[in-house]
Amino acid sequence: MIAKTIILATALLLAGAVAASSQETNTQPAAPAANPEQPANPASPPPSNHAPDPWMKPDLWATFNGDLMAQKYAIPDQITPDNVKNLTKAWEFHTGDVSDGSGNKPMSVWSATPLFVNDTLYIGTPFYRIIALDPGTGKQKWAFDPHAVLKALTQPDLKNRGVAYWQADNPQKGAACQKIVYIGTMDAKLYGVDADTGKPCASFGKNGMVDVNQWNTINKKWPLSLLQPPTVYHNTLFLGWAGRDWTDQADPPGTVFALDARTGKLKWTFDALPKEAIPTTGTANVWASMSIDPKLGLLYIPVSSPSPNMYGGDRKEKLPLATSVTALDVDTGKVVWSRQLVHHDIWDLDTNSAPTLVDIKKDGKTIPALVQSSKQGFLYVLNRKTGEPIYPIEEKPVPKSDVPGEQAAATQPYVANPAPVTPDRWSGVFPLADWISLGACSSEAAKLRDDGRFTPPSLKGSIIFPATAGGTEWGGGAVDPTTNTYVVNSSRVVQIYTLIPRKDYQQKAQNGESAGYYPQTGSPYGFRLQTFLNWAGMPCWKPPYGTLAAYDLNTGKRLWNEPFGEVQRYGFYMPESWGSVTIGAPVITKSGLIFIGASMDSRVRAIDLKTGKVLWRSLVDAPAVAMPAVYTYKGKEYVVFVVGGNSILLPKVSDQVIAYALPK
């Protein structure tokens, strides 16, 4: 709002905002063959005798991303751009599983997508309970409590992104565990319970639990935290995990596990790192969600960066599957193709979301495509059968490292079309923030290394943009497959990376999730991560801090790009034109609406897909950093948000589940 901007500029309201990053982990082990930096089209797709699971109907919201192709597209069309203004609360439920960190439990961070399947709404909580709700009333049907360890074993907060669901193709009536709901815990335990009763499935693992940490045997330093629910297809659970970033040089390698959905038995594993690299590195794990082309039988995994995340002097060998999007054969785990998105990653630019699968129309042809969003702000549009770019990816020279021992990659992949969600350079010092800081912002900026995209970390400190905070975070984008309109939210966060020689590194403990000192033990350098803020906590860079954009995937053209959400600090809302850092993801409905939470201002919104204009908004108890579920139940369309908050945005938490519907 212009008025707010004017008042701000003249009245000197302390504001402040935002911070940083996100990301959760990394890892990985030995990889298949793999050639150099560039990927990786070793095999042709497997013979296509695959088909979607019969129970996974398109009118369900049965997976973390709504469907296996991560389209986040809802077919209910009762709520339209014309009547969305009438949307009201249908019901509300509070789980009780919330912690602000003031007691003996760490703060809760709740990003669970509710699942609508089996005529039930299933949610996982940050205390690792499963709760089954009536989708029309929000009344609890049952709850399962694994009595999980509620300690910050890997992440600084208690995190959960929900549950997964599986059912037999032909469930036997009266038999238990023909339908199973799964939840993972921070200490690497995967529980499977009967979807109708909530009772543990005796046939799954040991009395309903698989201890995934049994396979944590290399560079074991912490448990393989199961925060992201598994991806389910053809009676198989595909499982990645999260660990602890930035603490060590050699971390557990990022194995992906394929488990039998009924028994929990291991079917195959995939490792993105070659065995010979393990002594000095690790991670390159898959901590975000995955997508599947059920007809091609391909599993698409977003592979994160290797450790240590900010210094690669001791891992100069080619690690072609690290920081990549990789397609695996669902039956064997073998690599079908892989494309590295950042070479020799020294910025922690994990590939961090499930690629969105969609068939696009280009030059008169229908091409099976995927869209991979990224922290670096590029949207990579690839042929999902082969991994070849549909829109060009150009290798461009990038700045060299000046850190002794480091050797940054000479080039990095750039995408010009579709236009990146973040600009190539940071926006420059924000005069208001500079004025409030008596010039500290500009003087600090002048001292730092700043050579544009892919400026390497340095001893004097480097301005990194886009940095580990994104770009686009783990939610990824959504697509309307009828028009191939792709929508994605993003953040613009400027961060400072400083390497500290080991002899000078005095800090004993790792700091917070988005800023602090991190030891990278075993490497020659510790590391300091800062978000570029002034003393008042106000960003030193010019807004906007977050946007929501729509693209026509058939041409790559950006249709609109609007500041999204509002920064909130000390209760004060900043101008809408500033936007907000976002964590979460949009959902698109058939009627042409976008539903999204994601912003700092604790609001959920409905947006016109055609114009990007906000048509409806509602206040909730905390930032709604989970993607919503949209479904029709007993003839009525519901939009359900889990409202949990995220310490990266605000120290504001909640246990609210809220459903909206049109009044009768």
Which of 144/573 has CB closer to another protein? 573
- The smaller minimum CB distance to another protein, of residues 161 and 603, is found at 603
Of the listed pieces 68-76, 316-324, 491-499, 597-605, which binds another protein according to CB under 8 A? 597-605
For position 621 contacting another protein by CB under 8 A, the verdict is yes
Under rule CB under 8 A, residue 13 binds another protein:
yes
User: Considering just the CA atoms, what is the radius of gyration of the chain in Å?
Assistant: 23
4 touches another protein (CB under 8 A): yes
Q: Judged by CB, which is closer to another protein: 142, or 572?
A: 572
DSSP 105-131: SPPEEEEEEPEEETTEEEEE-TTS-EE
Query: How far apart (Å, rounded) are the C-alpha atoms in residues 398 and 408?
Result: 9
Q: Measured in whole angstroms, how far is the alpha carbon of residue 273 from the centre of its chain?
A: 21
Q: Which is nearer to another protein, 4 or 318 (CB)?
A: 4
User: Of these, 2, 85, 619, 635, which contacts another protein (CB under 8 A)?
Assistant: 619
* CB of 384 or CB of 603, closer to another protein: 603
Q: Cα separation of 654 and 93, whole Å?
A: 11
Which member of 48, 316, 570, 610 binds another protein (CB under 8 A)? Answer: 570
Which 8-state DSSP code applies to residue 7?
H
Work out the angle at residue 257's Cα, subtended by the Cα atoms of residues 626 and 489, and round it to the nearest 5 degrees.
25
CB neighbourhood size of 482 (10 A): 10
Q: Which is nearer to another protein, 102 or 506 (CB)?
A: 102
As measured in angstroms, the least distance from the Cβ of 510 to another protein is 28
- The H or E element containing residue 94 is strand 88-94
**340 within 8 A of 323, measured Cβ to Cβ:** yes
* Nearest partner of 69 among 306, 280, 384, judged by Cα: 384
Write out the E strands in 476-613.
478-480, 485-491, 495-501, 516-518, 525-531, 546-552, 557-563, 568-569, 572-573, 587-589, 593-596, 603-608
Using an 8 Å Cβ cutoff, are 457 and 497 in contact?
Answer: yes
100 touching another protein, by CB under 8 A: no
Residue 215 near another protein by CB under 8 A: no
Q: Does 2 bind another protein (CB under 8 A)?
A: no
Q: Are 232 and 180 in contact (CB under 8 A)?
A: no
Is residue 5 at the binding interface for another protein, with CB under 8 A as the rule?
Answer: no
Among 571, 634, 663, 664, which residue sits at the site for another protein (rule: CB under 8 A)? 571
- Within 491-530, the residues that bind another protein by CB under 8 A are none
In the complex, least distance from residue 620 CB atom to another protein, rounded to whole angstroms:
8
Binding piece for another protein, criterion CB under 8 A, among 166-174, 418-426, 539-547, 572-580? 572-580
Q: Alpha-carbon distance 170 to 117, whole Å?
A: 15
Q: Which of 572, 577, 608, 611 binds another protein (CB under 8 A)?
A: 572
User: Does 68 engage in binding with another protein (CB under 8 A)?
Assistant: no
Query: Per rule CB under 8 A, is residue 194 in the interface with another protein?
Result: no
Count of helix runs (H) and strand runs (E) in the chain: 3, 42
Contact between 444 and another protein (CB under 8 A)? Answer: no
Phi then psi dihedrals of residue 50, to 5 deg = -95, 160
Contact call for residues 372 and 358 (beta carbons, < 8 A): no
Number of residues interacting with another protein: please give it, by CB under 8 A. 16
Q: Does residue number 103 form part of the binding site for another protein (CB under 8 A)?
A: no
Interface with another protein (CB under 8 A), residue from 157, 345, 406, 601: 601
Q: Are 532 and 542 contacting, i.e. CB atoms less than 8 angstroms apart?
A: no
Site string (144-173) toward another protein, x via CB under 8 A: ------------------------------
Alpha carbon distance 211, 220 (integer Å): 15
Stretch that binds another protein, among 17-25, 293-301, 328-336, 563-571 (CB under 8 A): 563-571
Q: Is 7 in the site for another protein (CB under 8 A)?
A: yes
Q: Which residues bind another protein (CB under 8 A)?
A: 3-4, 7, 11, 13, 568, 570-574, 601-603, 619, 621
